[in-house]
Chains A and B, each alone.
Chain A
Amino acid sequence: MKLSEEQVRYVAKLANLNLTQAEIDRMVQDLGSVLEHMDSLAAIDTEGVEPMTQVLYQTEETATLRPDVERAPLANEAALANAPAAGSGYFKVPKVIER
């Protein structure tokens, strides 16, 4: 499956990813060759096969449940320590609503 430049731009928009024109040209070529290989999957018969959504092994169904007990959350200050912009205990981002 080849991808058009228009499709690449659409996917980049879905992914919130800004790409330069050079990057888009390269994506058209690279994604095309990878998707071509991926199309080989159509040849394998998977009739009646359940999709494997996670690794399964012999275990009880409740094995991954934990007791419902309180645990101290990350302190506000620690959570904000890496924020590019913060104030009054919150993350700050560019304005989304005009007054």
Chain B
Amino acid sequence: MTADSIQSIREGLLRKEFSAVEVAREALVFAERENPKTNAFLLFSAERAVANAERVDARIAAGEEPGLLAGVPVAVKDVILTKGLRTTCGSRILEHYVPPYDATVVERIEAAGGLIIGKTNCDEFAMGSSNENSAFGPVRNPAAPDRVPGGSSGGSAAAVAQKTAVISLGSDTGGSIRQPASFCGVVGVTPTYGRVSRYGLVAFASSLDHIGPFARSVRDAATLLEAMAGRDPLDSTSADAPVPNYAAHLDGHVRGMKIGVPISYMRHALGETYELIDKAIRRLKGLGCELREISLPATDYAVAAYYIICTAEASSNLARFDGARYGLRSAASATLSDMYHNTRGEGFGPEVKRRIMLGTYVLSHGYYDAYYKKAQKVRALITRDFTNAFQSVDAIVAPVSPFPVFRIGEKVDDPMAMYLSDIYTITGSLAGIPCMSVPCGTTNEGLPVGLQILCNHFHEQQMFRLADAFERR
């Protein structure tokens, strides 16, 4: 399809060059044909996409404003509920689950004229950094089919990279949007905690979960965020802060912007990743930004703190999957207790079981203070590091991952090594600040690498302006 951005689809619709129904049908034919190459989609929703496209066409025919996302094909990560459309969370335990309601973000996207064309593959319950933990098979990286797309929102990143969706939704708890965006060469945004409603997002770690956009340009990502951000009475953690017109302020003016570079982060980035990030930082200087070295000392403890907090919260959140009200129920269970134990034993995959076990352990009697409470104190120190840094800089830049995309199967046997690779993304998650990945080049082998940009709470506008200026350079 020639119209492959929010803006170009809107212009084509308003000039009557094509209809939204044509866009929907063409997008679905293309996506269904291309999907076997990556396994990015788990389900297509042709009927729903066409029905929404008809509404967009009717609005245009009536001379009404068709909405911010008019006629734009959108893919939605399969941890976000869609009424009447199976939502699996990449898990056997929800293999046949059909939600009775829509997530707020889904309602808002469709109200803005967006066309949800399908649900995307992900690590089971969003737990993983490679998409290999899906019960429905791994996703392949569009840039290198023997490699992972990153995780946990691997399907949503791959769909946008593969152009089987124009934009998509992911969820990010410790890097699950930024890392796959970096690995697939697309833009991925984790907004400020509370910026986007999580009503209808299947909870993993409630104090860390975010919903955010993937797109092929900063402008499209900014537009999608604008369409779904803002207070939602159904999510008490959603912030009552005005939503700016993000895309209207992408003017390229970054001269004089003060950029913090955490030197210790750079020290750990390996080989070509280091070179590409270093080149990106020099390019920012070329745009007129002022670079400053900063220090984020509590980062050394971030992985430990993060995996205590997220597994503790996950062990509580996933208690709801017990075979009583929805999802799998183990067939051979004589007692209620057997039903719980067997259902969970049969329904969850290895990584989810590992995290439930860790979380249950760190919350158990006698260990709570040493692990969970200590981790929450370290989280406060990590947040303080950022608060201090943002007194002297407007934005921070860093790598997203210490190394480029790895091969399917390469790291699956060492969970601790996989956890350690999340180091650059989890600090921003713990602080709840907005962060994003913007493509900054490819390695000699053609593997994409992303530059991470982090800003202070609710400073998405500044973050987008910098990312957009960098993208255009």
Contact = CB atoms under 8 A, between A and B. Distances in A.
Given A46-B374, A46-B377, A16 B341 contact: yes
B404 interface: no
A68 B341 CA distance: 39
B360 A11 contact: yes
A54 B207 contact: yes
A85 B133 CA distance: 29
Contacts of B335: 94-96
B416 A57 contact: no
Given A14-B364, A44-B301, A81-B100, A19 B353 contact: yes
B378 A79 contact: no
Given A11-B357, A59-B239, A34 B376 contact: no
B68 interface: no
Contact of A17 (B237, B324, B356, B380): B356
Nearest to A20: B345
Interface in A13-39: 14-20, 23, 26-27, 30-31, 33-35, 37-39
B288 interface: no
Contact of B240 (A20, A27, A59, A93): A59
Given A16-B322, A78-B100, A85 B301 contact: no
Contacts of A19: 345, 353
Contacts of B315: 15
A5 B379 CA distance: 31
B190 to A, nearest CB: 12
Interface string A35-66: 10111111010100111111101110001101
Contacts of A82: 96-98, 100, 325-327
Given A51-B373, A96-B335, A46 B378 contact: yes
Contact of A37 (B304, B322, B334): B304
A31 B381 contact: no
Q: Is the interface of A mostly helix, strand, loop or mixed?
A: loop
Contacts of B378: 41, 44, 46
Classify chain B: how many residues form its interface, as a range: 35 or more
A23 B353 contact: yes
Given A19-B353, A85-B329, A93-B336, A40 B239 contact: no
A44 B381 contact: yes
A55 B206 CA distance: 11
Interface in A79-99: 79, 81-85, 91, 93-96
B380 A52 contact: yes
A52 B100 contact: no
A84 B333 CA distance: 13
Interface string B64-99: 000000000000000000000000000000001110
Contacts of B246: none
B236 interface: yes
Contacts of A52: 376-377, 379-380, 383
Contact of B376 (A33, A53, A67): A53
A69 to B, nearest CB: 9
Given A18-B345, A31-B358, A66-B236, A37 B416 contact: yes
Contacts of B431: 55
A51 B380 contact: yes
Contacts of B416: 30, 33-34, 37
B458 interface: yes
A58 B456 CA distance: 12
B328 A31 contact: no
A84 B329 contact: yes
7 tightest A-B CB contacts, nearest first: A18-B345, A55-B432, A51-B376, A84-B329, A82-B326, A46-B377, A52-B380
Given A20-B345, A59-B239, 13 more contacts: A11-B364, A15-B357, A16-B344, A31-B354, A34-B307, A35-B358, A38-B308, A50-B380, A52-B380, A82-B100, A93-B336, A93-B339, A96-B336
Interface of A: 3, 7-8, 11-12, 14-20, 23, 26-27, 30-31, 33-35, 37-42, 44, 46, 49-55, 57-59, 63-64, 66-67, 74, 78-79, 81-85, 91, 93-96
27 contacts: A11-B364, A12-B357, A15-B356, A15-B360, A16-B319, A17-B341, A17-B348, A17-B353, A18-B345, A31-B361, A34-B307, A37-B303, A38-B304, A40-B304, A51-B373, A51-B379, A51-B380, A57-B192, A63-B240, A66-B236, A83-B326, A84-B327, A84-B328, A84-B329, A93-B324, A94-B334, A96-B335
